Structure formats: structure tokens, C-alpha cells
A = this chain, B = another copy of it.
Amino acid sequence: MEKIRRTKIVDLWTKPTFGEIVNVKGWVRTRRGSKQVNFIALNDGSTIHNIQIVVDLANFDESVLKQITTGACLSVNGKLVESVGAGQAAEVQATEIEVLGVCDNTYPLQKKGHSMEFLREIAHLRPRTNTFGAVFRIRHNMAIAIHKFFHDRGFFYFHTPLITASDCEGAGQMFQVTTLNLYDLKKDENGSIIYDDDFFGKQASLTVSGQLEGELAATSLGAIYTFGPTFRAENSNTPRHLAEFWMIEPEVAFNDINDNMDLAEEFIKYCVQWALDNCYDDVKFLNDMFDKGLIERLQGVLKEEFVRLPYTEGIKILEDAVAAGHKFEFPVYWGVDLASEHERYLVEEHFKRPVILTDYPKEIKAFYMKQNDDGKTVRAMDVLFPKIGEIIGGSEREASYDKLLARIKELHIPMKDMWWYLDTRKYGTCPHSGFGLGFERLLLFVTGMANIRDVIPFPRTPRNAEF
């Protein structure tokens, strides 16, 4: 076979060089045709689109032809010509075909129309489908958009640790990390396990957030963001929970809550715009196949400014709705941690656009949020989105050493985990703010997928750590 430099299929679509002899490589999606001519749809993962290979059967050995089955990997030389078929710009008239890898009829993706549940069971092969190709190309693009957004604005990407010996967010929901031999655990005279021989010489876990370390970085480098895996050992078997997921957490010195809201709104609009600008074909495919309202919803959040509303006013709107006869599953009252149905009512029915809810009751928010003068609320801000509910949670942080210390004591958070965090307030404290975005929540919004297990390559959930 003549050696010709390979052209990716995405390039055949976007900058075709008609009349030239090209080489394409990829996997057979379908093969159809007559006894004289066959049409092979070849895909190489670079785009949702296949390239059509036109095969004049008379020119090829039967031994080669019979290996061209769904899933087989081919290298094809041929002339690139304009296609007369609908929905495709170019096709390749094959002159040489090499079968790089055969694929027998046990291949699970031979037929189309598998359920999402079945595709999760073959997560090692599902990126070969149109749907998951589209989802993972979008996932890539969203990650790139995030890095570009922050880099262009002078933020530094900061790697906070995954393994931690702190447990200030509640040990019950954390995964323990250990090298102890569980068959030979040593205990002291009180019956407590001795962690002296464990790898870190103490009990260690997987982090639930990089925020506290992110604040250390923001109060030295100015503006940082994290983007890394985060873990929750919650036994929640829902379409919205993962035990291992990726989180983005910017943290900015000298930003107050208003700057923080500006940043969050600009950031998420940038990501959505990026998806429309850079992944339109993939988004369009998902729109047409799964979620006819997807593109409209994406364009919708770009159009208008987000509503900015104190929690207390949000509660009033919800109470008015209840008084007017709207039925919620969960009760509404000042002090309640809003359920997704409440958030979506505000966004989808009342305001019909994204809402940033601020100044939540301190009891339902974390200890590090800046306390308002009313003694009841903190300078929290949650960004609420259509279909998703909370997509971003953040706050201005408590900058006062005394107030923060008092809150830590009030909540009985162990000081052994807090001394280094408190040092940021002790030595040159400054106003600062930040927020967290669950990457997969963003992807649910941008892809229109219904289950969070379908926007991450290999989901980790209760009783599932396959592949």
C-alpha cells in the first residue's frame, strides 16, 4: 500500500482538498451498497461526521472485502471528491484498502439503538458511539475553555492535594486512604487503631474540596483556580451524584461578593458560548437526538443578565407561589436549604432565566463564609440554572480572624485542622471570594444528558468502579 500522510476526517470536512489522493484511517460505522459498489461510513473520532468511502467491488479482493465489517479498523487510500449525497461534503473513492484490525460479530456496538444503561456496562467501548464521541469532545472543549478563561485573566492554575489528613467537612462522607494491612491492624491500649505505620503516619482521606488550600494560594498569588478530581463517599444512587468528579474552584484576593458574582456569570457564559462556537456539530447532534431544547437553552442563558436576589426575597417568592396554590414536594420557609424543585421554580417559572441567590442563612452554609451584619446570614452566592438547579456555589470569605475563629469554635471544628487556614487571616488578611463549579454539572447543562454517569468516561458510584 502506498504510504501517504494521513488526513483526519475533521480536516476532510472543514478543508477538503478535492482531487487529491488522501489517506484516511478509522473504524467502520456502517457498510451498505449493491453488488457493484459499496459505501463505507468511516469514523476516526476527530468529528461526529463520518467520511464516506466509495468502494468499487471489482477492484478489491474478496479476502479484503469480507473483513470490512462494523467496528473494523481500516486504512484507505483514495481520491477525495465532492459528494453528491445529502449531508456530506466529500467522499473518498478508494484505490487501496488495508484492514488494520478485524472485528467479528461479537462486537457489542454492531447494531444501533442501545440503551444508555447498556452502554454504561460497556463504558470501555461507548466512546466509539456518536453520542459519547460528541459528549467527550464537548467535555474536552469545556476543559479548554475553562483554562483559557482563567489564563487570559491572569489567574494561576493551582494544584491542591487530593490526599488530606484534615477532615473538617465531615469524615462520614470521605474515603479513607491507607496502606495498612487490614489483616493485621495494630491497636493501642484504648482499642484505637495505631496509624503510626500507615503511609502518612496518620489517618488520611480523599479530599472533598480544594478550597481551603486555594485560599492559601489566592492570598499569595492573587487569583488562582483549581481544576481537579474531588471525592464524596455519599451512598447516593441518583442521576446527579458521582463518588469521583471534577471540580473547578477559583479564588480571588480582593474580590467581594459582587466581583464574585460578576466573575461567575462571565465565566459560565464564556463556557456556554465556547460550546456553541467550537462544538456546534456535537451539540447539534445531541440536540437533535436527545434534547430538542438544548441549543435554545444554551442560547437562553447568554441572552440576559442573571437575576441577583437575596435568599430572603427568594423565599418570599416561593411562599407566594405556595399561597397561590403551587405544590412543592418539600416545605418552604426561611431557613430551609432549598430543594432542586424550589431552585428550578425560581429559574424556570418565575424569572425564566438564571438566578444568583445570595445571603443565605448561616446555619445552612459553611463556616468560612463572610458573616453579614444582621447576625443571621452569610455572603453566600449560588448560581441556579434551568434544568440543573445549583450549578455554582460560592461566597465572599470571612476575612476577620476573630469572627472566623469564633465560628470555628461554635461548630467544634478541630483546631488541629485549622491553624494553617487561620494563618491567612492572622498574617495580612484581605477580602477575598471564590466559588466552586462541578464540572459534570456544567456538562449536564451543555450536553443535555440526563444522567451524570454519561458525561464522565468511567463513572464511580456506589458498587461501581469498573474499568
Contact = CB atoms under 8 A, between A and B. Distances in A.
A457 B158 contact: yes
A10 B71 CA distance: 53
Interface string A217-254: 10111110000110101010000000110100000011
A431 B160 CA distance: 37
A127 B45 contact: no
A246 to B, nearest CB: 6
- List the number of copies, as a whole number: 2
Interface stretch (A132-140, A317-325, A379-387): A132-140
A127 B246 contact: no
A415 interface: no
Contact of A10 (B44, B45, B154, B175): B154
Given A430-B25, A462-B199, A465-B164, A217 B127 contact: yes
Given A133-B221, A465-B204, A429 B213 contact: no
A350 interface: no
Interface residues of A, number: 102
Interface string A166-191: 10000000011111101101000001
A392 interface: no
Nearest to A129: B220
Contact of A179 (B6, B175, B228): B175
Contact of A228 (B229, B456, B465): B229
A125 interface: yes
A144 B158 CA distance: 11
Given A175-B199, A220-B133, A101 B430 contact: yes
| A-B pairs with lowest CB-CB distance, top 7 | A101-B429, A45-B221, A127-B220, A45-B222, A73-B428, A201-B463, A140-B156
16 contacts: A8-B154, A8-B222, A25-B253, A25-B430, A46-B223, A73-B430, A103-B427, A124-B420, A136-B156, A158-B457, A159-B457, A162-B229, A177-B206, A183-B191, A199-B462, A200-B464
